[in-house]
Structures are given as structure tokens and as C-alpha cells.
Structure 1
Amino acid sequence: MKVSINIRLLLSLLLVIAMLVPTQAFATTGLDEEKNVVHYAALGDSLTYGIMFNSTPTKPSVGLSFADYIAQDLQRVELLGSFEKPFAVPGATTMDLLTALSQPETQFKLQSADMITISIGANDFLQVLSTDPSKLQNPAEVAKIMKQLTENYGASMQIIRKANPTAEVYLMGYYNGFYAYPPEQQQPLIQLTNTVNEIIKGIALATNSHYVPTFDKIAEDYPTYLPNPSNVHPSPAGYMAIADEFWKQIRTNLPVNTTRIAGENRYETAIKISQAGWKESAQSVILARGDDFPDALSGAPLAYDADSPILLTHSHKLDPNVKEEISRLNPQVVYILGGDVAISPEVEQEIIDMDIKTHRFDGEDRYETSAKIGAFLPSSDTAVIANGTKFPDALAVASYAAENAYPIILTKQNEMPKASAKLLKNYPKSLAIGGTAVISENLFNTLPNATRYGGDDRYETASIIARELNPSYKAFVSTGLEFADALTGSVLAAKTDSSFLLVHPEKMQDAVLEAKEDLGIYHFTILGGPKAVSPSIEKELQGVK
């Protein structure tokens, strides 16, 4: 089947659309500045509605669409003011959208939106494919379909821009939903999809909107993203992948936002972190000593694997508020990090008296304790090596190690302790965290297939890890001078797919700002109160002078 389309005609139509769109200045951020929130409206077909297939496809179901995932992400970072789908109809064509937008009530709903996403256009030819596929073999019919699509989509954008000239509008391009077809059937349909995408891209340009491509992203893993070879609808993973493509552009038009999780002290901050990440309950809890770091440094991967918060305790007394939080979480087991000196038998007994089991990880020293924690984790091919006499590097990498189930194996600067060396034999690859002042070059050369991630100081090391190993548009921030907040927050950072950065409480480091710029971070979760991370640092993260 050969497809021939009059490109000149389509270009001329797009030029007309550009001339008809209102000329008011467009917003640069799409933000309700007084409330610091975004009001989001989604328009479109089944991809906005949420028709989906799970990983074991039998029949379609309704779930979260890419628009829902976008709204969830805005909600997580406290940027969502409102979210609605004024028009989201499976099977909808551009004519259906135009008809809906012609209704005053639909226009009214769009007037207060700061951000609008649209998925429309593919059904204009998919409906023909399902009812009369022979038409798609006629170039004149195909050109007619594309001309109508261009006119309807363009007219829809004119209505949207007249109703709301300042909203940030994102138009979705389509992916190849026919990857399982034989090549001779697939290629003409891909050509049609590409033509639709070119039209949408042109309309985005003509209306000062944003075009969001999805073709290449979905092509990276068709079986995962489109699990039913005979249906074009994505899996939940596919919708998340589409949402990520939108985020690449949405984030550039969002303000840098911050939230702070803090209590009166490190014990209270750990409780607040627990409440933020485990709102109802937790299967288990990790309990670490709050006034010293050695036994706790390797705890983040264990906590992430068990989906558990890390709480802190005094060595000889369980804080009543911590005890209350453990009771709220109602865990089956509490994992205790360290021996009797770190957390006394009396503290453990208090937990047992709550009818909760305990499991203690303890060794003769921090290195053996670390090795026992590492041996408890699921198998992986990589170990993280960090200095056990200093905490910053281990905590800078903690969220990344946790999310990948890599054990954090502790070492001395020039010598690998016996327990650490024994565990390390199980891993063919390793990541050395920090410069030669914490892991010497001689020791580094003995590590299995090692890669070093280290900067001039703890702040640069954390920045390098964030940029090269754990990039995200969201980041957790903790003081680099104390261990507690970084330890307890690292698991929540991993749980929310966030990078992790260390800052000086009062002085902004260039490495932190470089990471912010390189990663395009739009949200920072600050751990601890103003003494841990000062308001001046928070303002610099926001970009406020």
C-alpha cells in the first residue's frame, strides 16, 4: 500500500491556523503564583481516558492513563491545584473533540487551566482501518482524512486558545501500535502514524504549544509497553513511559518547588519521614541508633527491600514518640541495626513486649554488621564500597544502592576488613564511592571490576552520583554535616525515584547548583529543620534571589 499525501496543502492549512490563533502573550510557567499550584485539564481519546492492558493481557480494562500519572506526580510534589478530564472518550476523533469544545461548558472548564494535555488524531484513520481498510489504500482518501484531521485539530486549538490564551498546552504524538504486524502491513501504518505526528507537530508550532513525541520511547520495549500485540493500548508501564515523555517538557515550564519534612529533632524528623512514606502501615521497621552512624550506614538497601521506614532510637531508651510510631505502623518485625552497645537489650525488650518480633544485625564491629546486612539482601551483581569511618559518601549513595538492591559494604581507606572482603567475593562488579582520601588507589585497584564515583568533597560526590547514577527531576536534600536525616530520608528518596543531594547548612555549593541545572530538578524535598538546611539554602534551590 502506497500512501501519498499533499504536504503543501497541509502546510498551508497550518499557516492559516497560525494566523487565526489569538496573539496574546503566552504564559511561561503555567502557575497559579498565589497558591503555587497548577490547575491541569486533560483532553483526548482512550489514552487520556486510560484503556489499558496488563502484563498478562486477556481483555482491556480501565486504569490510570498518562494524564493520571502526570497529576499524581504534581500531587506528590504539592504542585497540583486541580485535575479534571473535561473530554476523555475512547475512540474519539478530532471531530469529536471539536464538537465537545464547541460547547460553552467545556470552554468554561478550560478557562482556569494552567496546563492542558491533548491526545487526539490517531482514531481518524484507525476507525477507517477497522471499518473499511481499503480506503487507506487510496491516496486520495488518505489525503482527505489527513486534511480533515488538520482542519479539526486546528479549529480545536483555536477554540482552546481563545478560551485560554496563557495555558501551557502539550500535544501528544503517537507511537507505532502495529509492531507485531508483518512488515508489508506494518510499514504503511507506520507511515500514516508519522504523518499524523507531523500534523500534530505543525499544529503545536502554529499555536505556540508543545509537541510530545512517544514513538521512539515506546519502541524501546514493545512487549512491556504494548503487551497485547493485537491492540494499540499500553500497559501501566506504557502509560508511565508516556507520562515521562510529557514530563521532559512539562518540567521546563514548572517553577522549582520545595517541601520540608522536619521535626523538632532527628528522632521526630525520622517519624515525619515514616508518616510521609508509610501512611497506613509497614510490614517491618528498621531501628537504628540516633546518635552515632557506624551500624546504620548499610541499612538503606535493607529498608528499601523490606519496604520499611528507618526510625531512630536512643541506645538505652525507646523514645515514647518512636514507640508510638512503631505501634501505628503495626509491623510484623523490627530489624535492629547494631549490637547491644548500639541498641540495648532493654530497648529490644520493649519492642518484644509490643508483641512484635525482632531481628538483630550485629557483629564484632561496624564492618561485620555491614556484611551481615549485605548478606541478607537479594542477590545482585554489584556491590557499593564506602568508607566506614565517615558517613557522607555512604549516605550520598544510599538511595541509589537501595533502589538497586546493592549492598553497601564498608571499608577502611587502605584496607578491606575481613568480613567485608568475604562478602565482596560474591559480587563481580563494584562501585567505589569517594576519592582517594576515603578509598585509596591501591585498595581501589583490588576491587572487582570497579568504577569510582568521587568528587573533591562530600557535596560534589553526592552531585556526581545524582547526575551519573541516579538522575531524576526530583531530589531529596539533607545536611552533609550530620548523618541522621540523610539516613532516614534515603529510603523515601528511593521509594519516590528521587535523586539525593547533600548541602552545607548555610553555604550553597556549586556542585549542588550544577546538579540542579543538569538534571532539571523541579522539586526538592528538604530533610530537617532550618538548622539542618537553612531558609537561605532553600531559597537558592528555588532560584529565589
Structure 2
Amino acid sequence: MKYIKNRRLLISLLLVIAMLVPTQAFGATGLDGDKKVVNYAALGDSLTAGVMFDSTPEKPSVGLSFADYIAEDLQNVELLGSFEKPFAVPGATTIDLLTALSKPEMQFKLQSTDMITISIGANDFLQVLKTNPDRLKDPVEVGKIMNQIAQNYGASMQIIRKVNPTAQVYLMGYYNGFYKYPEDQQQPIIQLTNMVNDIIKGIALATNSHYVPTYDKIAENPSKYLPNPANVHPSLAGYMAIADEFWKKMSKNLPVNTTRIAGENRYETAIKISQAGWKESAQAVILARGDDFPDALSGAPLAYDSDSPILLTHSDALDPNVKEEIARLNPQVVYILGGNVAVSPEVEQEIIDMDIKTHRFDGADRYETSAKIGAFLPSSDTAVVANGTKFPDALAVASYAAENAYPIILTKQNEIPKASAKLLKNYPKSLAIGGTAVISEDLFNKLPGATRYGGADRYETAAIIARDLNPSYKAFVSTGLEFADALTGSVLAAKTDNSFLLVHPEKMQNAVLKAKEELGIYHFTILGGPKAVSPTIEKELQGVK
């Protein structure tokens, strides 16, 4: 069958639709920059409803649809305000959607939405294919069906744009659900599907909406995405793949949220982080010196493994607020990082007097302390190697190392200390963090199965780690000039599946903005007060000019 002649008529019809849509709709270029959440409504047929590939008329099966996965993604980046499916009807056609949208109660629901997805159109010809397939052999009849789809879909969009001219609307294109059919039977259906997709694409263009193609994505692996040849509905993997195609389009129009965790100083910020991540209690607490970094650099994997917050102390005195937080957490043990100079016996005794056990990790130097912490962790095949005389690289990788139970083993630029070298023998692979200024090429070549992750500076190194090792739509951010907030925040970042980025307090780095764009980050948790990360940096992360 050939339906090329009908396309000229469809193009004319789409021009009419473009004139019918209210002109203010074309001003809907993005979400209000002040909004921090997205109110999402999904409209459509069985694909919006979530009908599964094993569903039958006798035994219907409905699961998570692409819309549910989109809502889940929004929730994961803390952007979801509300989600509903006010019209999700298996077998629905364009006239069914138009009828539903004509009702005042439906229009009222859509007035307050920020984002709408629509899957509609395929059933208009699939129902004919099922009940009167000969009709689809007549180009004139096919033209009537396609024109009706365009009219109904266009009228539906006219209503949506009238009640909500600024919503971001995403119109789904269809895939070939009959890939197992013989080629001669597939071709007519493919042509019909392409015609419907052309209509949807044209309506999206005419109504300042977004067309979301799915045809090529499903065709990449049809047996995985459409496991039942007798049923056009996707598997869960198929619905996820469709959701990913929507997300590619949506990512350019979503707001960016920021949350700040901060106290009056680094000790108070650590307490706030503890309270955010361990709301009731903790099995253990990590206690590190708050005014110097060497003994604390390797603490994040230990904290994650024991599900413990990291708190800070003065060397010779336990801050009353820190003591109160330890009491609130009621841990069985407090792990102390460093020897008596780092954390004095008097501080340790205060903890013991609270009827809490202590376990101290101390060595002759930072390298031995690091090695003792690493040896305490569960076995793995990979170790992280970072310079022990500078803190940024070790902290940039801390949340990733923690989440994967990789020890952070400290080294010098040109020399591997004995304690570090001994521990490294247990690992066939290693990740060298930083460039040649912190780990020389000669030393790198001595590391077991080493891969280097390093940039031009600490900010680029952290961005590379986030992008290549620890990608997420969410990221923790701390100053790259001080160690404390990054140290105490690293374990919460790992606990909540966040990437981790370092920033200059006052000057935004291109590497950070590039990572934000490449990862599609929509929520930043900023660690520390305005002196650590300024309001100017926060606004730049949000995309506010």
C-alpha cells in the first residue's frame, strides 16, 4: 500500500491546527525558574496505563508504565511535586481523549500541571486493523483515518494549550509492535505507524510541544523490549527505555534545586549532616580531628561500611554539641581516626565515660593510619590511591570509594610508603586519583592494574570522577579549599547515591558546569555556609543568571 498522496492533505491540516492553537502557547518555552517541583500529568492509552506484554482480555496485567518511571526519575532528583494519570485508558483513541479533555473537571486538573505526557493515536488504526482490515487497503479510507487522528489530536492540544499555555507537553511517537510478522505483513503497518508519527510530530511542532520518538529505540532490541510477539505492549525494560527517551527531551526543561546543609562552623555542619542522614540512631560514629586532614582522609569507606556519620572534634576537647549528637545517635562504638596527637586520650575518655566503646586507628604517620583503616574494610579487588599530603583528590573520590568498599590508600607524589605498599599487594586493581603533580608517572606505573582519573586541577578531577565513575542526577557540592565539609558529607553522598563535586567558594569552574550539563544534574546538596559555597555559586548551579 502507498499512502504518499495523503501526506499532502495531512500537511494542510496541520497548518490549520497551528492557526487554531492560541498564540500565547508559543510563549511556553520552559518551566518557571522559581519553581522547585514539577506537577506531572500523564494522558493516553494502554502505554500510559502500563498494560504489560503478558496481558490478555481474560487476565489483564497492568504494571508500571513509562509515565510511572518518569515520575520515579523526577522523585529521585527531588523534583516531583505531584503525579497523576487523569486519563490512562487501554484501547483509547484520539476521539476518546478529546471527549475526556472537553469535560470541565479534566480541564481544571490540567490547569495547575507543569508537565504533560501524551500517548495517543495508534489505536485509531489498530482497532480498524482488528475489526475491518480490508479498510486499510484503501488509500482513501486510510486518508480518512489519518485526517481524523490529526483533527482529534489537534483539537485536544488546542484545549490543553487554552487551559495551560505554559505547560511542557511531550507527545509520544509509536514503535513497530509487529516485528515478528512476515515482512510483507509488517510493511503496511510500518507505513501506517510512520504516518501517525508524522502527524504527532507535526502537531508537536505546531503547538510548541515536544515530539518523543520511540521507534528506533525499541527497534534496537525488540525481543527484549517486546517479548511477546502476540502482544504489542512492552516489558518493564521496554517501558524504562521509553521513559529514557522522554527523559532525553525533558532534561533540557527541568528546574534545578539546591539544598544547603550548614552549621555555624565545620563542627556544627558535621552535626547537621549527621542529623540529615541518621535521623534516629547509628550503629557507630566516626570521630576525626576537625582542624587537620591527614588521619581523616581514608575515613569515608569505613563510615559507609559501618553506616556511620563522621563527626569532628578538637584535638584536646570534645565540643559539647558534638557530645550531645553522639549521645543522640547512641552508637555501640566510636571509631577514632588518628593517634593521641590528633584526638587526645582525654577526648576518648569522655566517650568511654558515656558507656560507649572506642576503637582507635592510629599509626606512626598518616600512611600507616590509612593502611590500618583499609585493612579493616571488607575485601575487594580494587584500591583507590591518592596523595596523602594534599586533601582534595582523596575527598573528591571519597563517596565513590565508600559506596564500593574501596580503601583509600595514601601515597606521596614519587614514593609509596611501606605501609601503603604492603596493603596494595592485596589488590589486583587500583584507581590513581589526580594528575602527575600528585602521583608521578613513575609511581603510577608501579601501581597494580592502575587507571588514572585526574584533571588540570582539583575541580576538574572531581568532575571527571563524577562523570566517569559516579554519575548521578544528584550531586553533593563542597568547597575545594577546605577538607572538613567534603569529609563529613562524603558518606551521606554515598548513602544517598549522589555524585560529588568540588567548587571554589566564589568563582564557578567550567569543569563543574560541564559536569552538571553532561550528567543532567537537577539537585545539588551544598555543604557548608555562604563562606564555604557562596550564594553566587548556588545561583549558578541553579542556572539563575
**TM-score bin, normalised by smaller chain:** 0.7 to 0.9
* CA deviation string 1:355-409 (max 9, x = no partner): 8887765555443444455456566654432112211011112233344554433
* CA deviation string 1:259-284 (max 9, x = no partner): 21112232332333344445566666
SS of the equivalent of 2:156 reads: helix
SS of the equivalent of 1:252 reads: coil
Aligned mates of 1:128, 1:329 — CA distance in 2: 65
TM-score, with normalisation over the residues of structure 1?
A: 0.80
SS of the equivalent of 2:451 reads: strand
- Asked if the contact 1:3/1:139 (under 8 Å) is kept, the reply is no
Bigger shift: 237-246 or 133-142? 133-142
How many angstroms does 1:528 deviate by?
Answer: 0.6
How many angstroms does 1:443 deviate by?
Answer: 0.7
Aligned mates of 1:232, 1:304 — CA distance in 2: 44
Gaps of 5+ in 2: none
Bigger shift: 432-441 or 41-50? 41-50
**Counterpart position of 1:466:** 466
| Structure-2 change in CA distance of 1:498 and 1:51 (3 Å) | farther
| Structure-2 change in CA distance of 1:352 and 1:176 (3 Å) | farther
| Structure-2 change in CA distance of 1:26 and 1:264 (3 Å) | same
- Give, as a single letter, the amino acid of the residue that structure 1 aligns with 2:412: K
**Counterpart position of 1:104:** 104
Q: Which has the larger radius of gyration?
A: 2
**Counterpart position of 2:258:** 258
**Counterpart position of 2:94:** 94
**Counterpart position of 1:31:** 32
| Structure-2 change in CA distance of 1:118 and 1:478 (3 Å) | same
**Counterpart position of 2:271:** 271
* CA deviation string 1:431-477 (max 9, x = no partner): 32212221012112223443333233222322333344444444322
How many angstroms does 1:480 deviate by?
Answer: 0.9
SS of the equivalent of 1:253 reads: coil
- Asked if the contact 2:33/2:255 (under 8 Å) is kept, the reply is no
TM-score, with normalisation over the residues of structure 2?
A: 0.80
How many angstroms does 1:30 deviate by?
Answer: 1.9
| Structure-2 change in CA distance of 1:15 and 1:337 (3 Å) | farther
* CA deviation string 1:53-92 (max 9, x = no partner): 99xxxx9876665445544555566655544433233443
**Counterpart position of 2:335:** 336
- Asked if the contact 2:348/2:358 (under 8 Å) is kept, the reply is yes
- Give, as a single letter, the amino acid of the residue that structure 1 aligns with 2:539: K
Percent identical residues: 84
How many angstroms does 1:211 deviate by?
Answer: 1.8
CA root-mean-square deviation: 4.2
- Give, as a single letter, the amino acid of the residue that structure 1 aligns with 2:508: M
- Asked if the contact 1:3/1:142 (under 8 Å) is kept, the reply is no
* CA deviation string 1:293-327 (max 9, x = no partner): 33432343454556654444555666565566566
Bigger shift: 408-417 or 276-285? 276-285
How many angstroms does 1:186 deviate by?
Answer: 9.7
* CA deviation string 1:478-532 (max 9, x = no partner): 1112112112323333445443221222333343344445555444321111121
SS of the equivalent of 1:208 reads: coil
Is 1:391–2:391 an aligned residue pair? yes
Aligned mates of 1:221, 1:381 — CA distance in 2: 33
**Counterpart position of 2:166:** 166
| Structure-2 change in CA distance of 1:89 and 1:270 (3 Å) | farther
**Counterpart position of 2:16:** 16
How many angstroms does 1:543 deviate by?
Answer: 4.3
- Asked if the contact 1:31/1:38 (under 8 Å) is kept, the reply is no
| Structure-2 change in CA distance of 1:358 and 1:197 (3 Å) | farther
- Asked if the contact 1:31/1:37 (under 8 Å) is kept, the reply is no
Aligned mates of 2:296, 2:101 — CA distance in 1: 57
Bigger shift: 222-231 or 389-398? 222-231
| Structure-2 change in CA distance of 1:182 and 1:48 (3 Å) | closer
| Structure-2 change in CA distance of 1:137 and 1:286 (3 Å) | farther
Bigger shift: 205-214 or 459-468? 459-468
| Structure-2 change in CA distance of 1:379 and 1:71 (3 Å) | same
SS of the equivalent of 2:252 reads: helix
- Asked if the contact 1:476/1:498 (under 8 Å) is kept, the reply is yes
**Counterpart position of 2:504:** 504
- Give, as a single letter, the amino acid of the residue that structure 1 aligns with 2:480: G
Bigger shift: 391-400 or 358-367? 358-367
Is 1:150–2:150 an aligned residue pair? yes
| Structure-2 change in CA distance of 1:367 and 1:139 (3 Å) | farther
Aligned mates of 1:370, 1:20 — CA distance in 2: 69
**Counterpart position of 2:204:** 204
SS of the equivalent of 2:27 reads: coil
- Give, as a single letter, the amino acid of the residue that structure 2 aligns with 1:408: I
- Asked if the contact 1:31/1:254 (under 8 Å) is kept, the reply is no
Aligned mates of 1:346, 1:226 — CA distance in 2: 66
- Give, as a single letter, the amino acid of the residue that structure 1 aligns with 2:293: F
Aligned mates of 1:225, 1:67 — CA distance in 2: 16
